[in-house]
Amino acid sequence: MTALVETRALTRHFGGLKAVESVDFRLEKGEIRAIIGPNGAGKTTFVSLICGRIAPSSGAIVFEGRDITALPAHRRVRAGIAYTFQITSIFPRLTVFDNVALSVQRRLLSAGRPKPSALKAGVGEALERVGLTERAGTLAGNLAYGHQRLVEIAMGLALEPKLLILDEPTQGLSDGEVEGFIALVREIASDATVLLIEHNMQVVMDLARRITVMNFGQVLAEGSPDEIRANNAVQDAYLGTGSDG
């Protein structure tokens, strides 16, 4: 069976720092996979390599059976990889509608000249999925932080990705917003694969089918939530501290 994403000996060094070191990774279509680990473990660098924000020092990245190691980030977006940042990257002086419209327009333009009706429909669908329909006309910068995170997720969904990468999506969210986020990710997983870096272990255990634990740029452990809970090295190093980054 062909994996949606596969990395082979993927490596990224920054001078003498081995941020990611010879990582072999496989993500199946339809999964919700979590990546956890302490600060400096290489998690964000690893997903940045997958989405093309940075280039590897060596190794390979395969998406749907195609080697995309040399493919630039914008072409990976067209191929179906969407990434939301650890820190919100919305346009605060644009409305919620216009923020999401930028993503819809990008997707439609890659398929030809977009019709206004298609643009409006695409924005409406994305906003409905994240529960922001009533805030479509609000300036994004005037939203509460949790709603800004949802705008960014809507921007990712508007690209109709095959793979949605979420970097610490629950950071700054209230307990109620976290519950809503868990429900949203389960809904997203009905038609997209989700890869998330997350510090909230309850969210990880509730959502992920499999968990990848990174440390010092390498994979320390991988398995189901129950297997990760039972892993003494993981428990001692990470789950007991609750740290991530």
Residue 102 lies in a domain: yes
Q: pTM for this structure?
A: 0.89
Q: Are the beta carbons of 181 and 166 closer than 8 angstroms?
A: no
pLDDT of residue 27: 97
Which tokens in the block code for residue 203? 């969210």
In the block, tokens 């993500």 appear at 27
Residue 123 lies in a domain: yes
pLDDT of residue 243: 39
pLDDT of residue 79: 94
Q: Residue 222, SS3?
A: strand
The tally of domains found in the chain comes to 1
Residue 19 lies in a domain: no
Residue 114 lies in a domain: yes
Residue 230 lies in a domain: no
Residue 208 lies in a domain: no
First to last CA, the chain: 32
Full domain range(s) for residue 147: 88-160
In the block, tokens 């992920």 appear at 208
Distance CA 138, CA 140 (A): 6
pLDDT tens, position by position, for the chain (245 residues)? Answer: 679 999 999 999 999 999 999 999 999 999 999 999 988 899 999 999 999 999 999 999 999 999 999 999 999 999 999 998 655 679 999 999 999 999 999 888 877 766 788 999 999 999 999 999 999 999 999 999 889 989 999 999 999 999 999 998 888 888 888 999 999 999 999 999 999 999 899 999 999 999 999 999 999 999 999 999 899 888 776 655 443 44
pLDDT of residue 87: 52
pLDDT of residue 214: 94
According to DSSP, the residues that pair with 15 across neighbouring strands are none
Amino acid at 223: G
Residue 33 lies in a domain: no
pLDDT of residue 86: 54
Residue 131 lies in a domain: yes
Distance CA 234, CA 222 (A): 10
| DSSP assigned state of 192 | S
Which tokens in the block code for residue 36? 């956890």
